Amino acid sequence: MKRKLERPIGWLVLLFSLPTRHASQRVEIWRKLRGYGALALQGGGHLLPRSAENQERFEWLAATVRGHKGEASVIEVRRIDNLPDERIAHLFREARGKDYQALVSEIQKAHKSGGAQRKLAVFKRRLEEIVKIDYFESPIRARAEAALAAAKEVPSQTQTVKIRAKVDFANKGWVTRPRPGIDRVSSAWLIANFIDSTPRFFFAEDAVEYPTAIPFDMFGGAGFGHQGEYCTFETLMKSFSVTDQQVQAIAEIVHDTDLADGKFGRTEGGIIELVLAGWEQQGIPDKELLKRGMGLIEGLYRGLRKRT
């Protein structure tokens, strides 16, 4: 909601008070107000441009305050006598300008330390959050977008993956370590759906137990495993040139869960890993654990495809 003040747009004011003993709830409300980009008024209250979305936000906060035994009112006003509309717009731009500048400083700091690439997803998400509450188009936004674009141009240090032909890996045996986690179950799913349509999976602590099987995610570097900044799923995906959009999304999820470096800012894999750990504690055999895990990844794939 970015508007030029060619005419009065109206404002929403939230007034609230909480009992002094409810300090934690007060902090919770203040955090929400900051997340909404609300402007604190000197005489008390918090201000947002009038819109259906902001009306819903303030009414929800008012209900929350009342639920904590406090008092709250949401007031709609056309104008504030000692605060012209243009002045209010300037204050909103100024507040968002500080947010953008803080992000620029963080990006530049990460760039100097060589860690900008790993935090790109975090920076992108933060920029999107600020843009959503930049109601009057702060000019500092362009500076933040330029800083993010510059960080993206840093070349990746990930090593090149050798391209393989799928025909050479058809109807094969594949071996991995027992008690598979998210990288291994997703890799097995990828193998079965995009590489070898008739795979046979085995489990062993050492790949020599199955000398004719192709190792994946095994210790010692044999077969397909972690390579550079890639997890095993990513190595397989790139080795066999799998470009499916949903598979690439799953690769980001598996990477962030398995390597825990926050590179893509994806958190969906945590639940899958938790479910796998729960099944493992139940003593489910490796073969069944792999089958169930592959089912979870299939569901994730279909869900992502439907969303797209």
Question: If pLDDT is split at 50, 70 and 90, which confidence band does 3 have?
Answer: very low
Per-residue pLDDT, averaged over 86-102, amounts to 95
Q: Are residues 74 and 90 in the same domain?
A: no
Q: Are residues 143 and 176 in the same domain?
A: no
The pLDDT, as a whole number, for residue 1 is: 46
pLDDT tens-digit profile of 22-35? 788 889 999 999 99
Domain final residue, candidates 113, 128, 152: 152
Indicate whether 45 pLDDT > 90: yes
Q: Determine the pLDDT at residue 4.
A: 47
Tell me which range, 7-11, 144-148, 201-205, is most confidently predicted by mean pLDDT. Answer: 201-205
pLDDT reading at 261 higher than 90: no
Mean pLDDT, the chain, rounded, equals 90
250: pLDDT confidence band, cut at 50, 70 and 90? Answer: very high
pLDDT mean over 274-285: 94
Which structural domain, as residue segments, surrounds residue 135?
86-152
Averaged pLDDT for residues 272-293: 95
Q: Is residue 21 part of a domain?
A: yes
- Do 60 and 181 lie in a common domain? no
pLDDT of residue 110: 83
Is 4 within the bounds of a domain? no
Query: Nearest CA to 76 among 98, 97, 52?
Result: 52
Same domain, residue pair 134 and 105: yes
Tell me the pLDDT tens digit for each residue of 214-243. 999 998 778 999 998 899 999 999 999 999
* Residue 6 clears pLDDT 70, i.e. is over it: no
Sheet holding 214-215, edge to edge: 200-203, 173-176, 214-215
Give the separation between CA 144 and CA 135, rounded to whole angstroms: 16
Q: Are 177 and 217 in contact (CB under 8 A)?
A: yes
Q: Do 32 and 137 fall within a single domain?
A: no
Spatial distance between the Cα atoms of 233 and 144, rounded to a whole number of angstroms: 33
User: 285 pLDDT band (50/70/90 cuts)?
Assistant: very high
Residue ranges of the alpha helices (H) in 193-285?
232-239, 245-259, 269-281
Indicate whether 5 belongs to any domain: no
Q: List the structure tokens of 296.
A: 């979870």
Asked if the model's pLDDT at residue 82 lies above 90, the reply is no
Higher pLDDT, 117 or 179: 179
Number of domains in the chain: 3
pLDDT given for residue 160 in this prediction = 80
Task: Tell me, yes or no, whether 222 and 254 share the same domain.
Answer: yes
The average pLDDT across 54-66 equals: 95
pLDDT above 70: residue 253: yes
Widest CA span of the chain, in angstroms? 83
| 265 compared with 45, residue with greater pLDDT | 45
- Average of per-residue pLDDT across 43-62: 94
* Residue 121, pLDDT score: 80
Q: Which of 54, 81, 108 is the last residue of a domain?
A: 81
- The pLDDT tens digits of the residues spanning 131-178 come to 999 999 999 999 999 988 887 765 545 468 999 999 999 999 999 999
